[in-house]
Amino acid sequence: MPMKISGFDEHTVRVNGLDLHVASGGEGPPLLLLHGFPQTHLAWRHVAPALAGRFRVICPDLPGYGASAKPEGGHEQYAKRVTAATMVALMRQLGHERFGLVGHDRGALVAFRAALDHPDDVDHLGVIDVIPTVDMWESLAGVGGVFGFHLYFLAQLDDLPERMIGADPDTFFGHFLDTWAEAGTFDAEVREAYLAATRDPATIHAICQDYRASAFADAAHDDEDRRAGRRVKVPTLAIWQDPGDLVLPFDPSAVWHGWASDVRTLTLPGGHFLPETQPDAVTAAISSLIG
């Protein structure tokens, strides 16, 4: 039986021509939680039930990931601007005209774009262990590119990444689950659930399209907004992992203060997958953000 978030209902919602797999639960102000790479909505399996006592929590699989449909067409269909519009349409279809929005990794990039493009819909923004795409690309230089090799590889415009990943998807995606996480973050059942969701060639292609969009669409959208002085005006929470002895090629606090008018920050130990390694701290921070 597929894993589920405890106490949450699962259903399919058709939005903008796409069938989205959605888990939802709880009562209260609406809160949308978006997962990252290479995961599904199960990334919120600890945080979502803890928040459900105060919020109506909605956890979809992002388009292209998990059990959600894979957009057809070019990589432009995976631009964060497009996905953000789909997420806003999902919430409206569920009856939520204004909502809190928290994302991790790729989901945080979608959340950031939604807050910029749909300020009348998003009332609080949370971003976990990511910086905007344009800042990320500008920060990668020298040996920093070693740690971000997947950003370049997945964005190749031919089918090279699909063919290479397809030869052994478990090794490829398992690499990130193993090296970006502290030991013991994922038990065997959770790890298998994530890997099973990435074996489908259509999903592999969709993930590559997501990263192509970051290289050839998202960075340009961010740069246009930065040049125009557009900023996130809602209360914003930026969480990132404690890098330990590693010197980051950017200052996360400075980056997010450059994009948002009202920012609170939090640094946590535990590696990249903080909703899973530090669920209590992440839950408390989200609750504090939204009040």
- Nearest CA to 59 out of 98, 4, 105, 114 is that of 4
Question: Domain residue spans in the chain?
Answer: 9-290
Whole-model pTM: value is: 0.98
Tens digits of residue pLDDT in 185-236: 999 999 999 999 999 999 999 999 999 999 999 999 999 999 999 999 999 9
Q: Is 272 a catalytic residue?
A: yes
Q: Which of 61, 105, 129, 210 is catalytic?
A: 105
Of residues 63, 44, 26, 61, the one with CA closest to residue 206: 63
Give alpha helix (H) positions in 52-200: 80-93, 106-117, 133-139, 144-147, 149-154, 160-167, 169-179, 188-196
pLDDT at 1 over 70: no
| 150 counts as catalytic | no
Please tell me the distance from the alpha carbon of residue 71 to that of residue 61, in angstroms, as a whole number.
13
- Catalytic option among 46, 96, 221, 272: 272
Q: How distant is the alpha carbon of residue 73 from its chain centre?
A: 22
In the sheet with 30-34, reading across from the earlier edge strand, the strands are 9-15, 18-25, 56-60, 30-34, 99-104, 122-128, 236-241, 263-268
CATH of range 9-290; options 2.60.40.10, 3.40.50.1820, 3.30.200.20, 3.40.50.300: 3.40.50.1820
Q: Quick: pLDDT tens for 137-184.
A: 999 988 878 889 999 999 999 999 999 999 999 999 999 999 999 888
Q: Are 117 and 130 in contact (CB under 8 A)?
A: no
Question: Which residue is it, tokens 């262990």?
Answer: 129
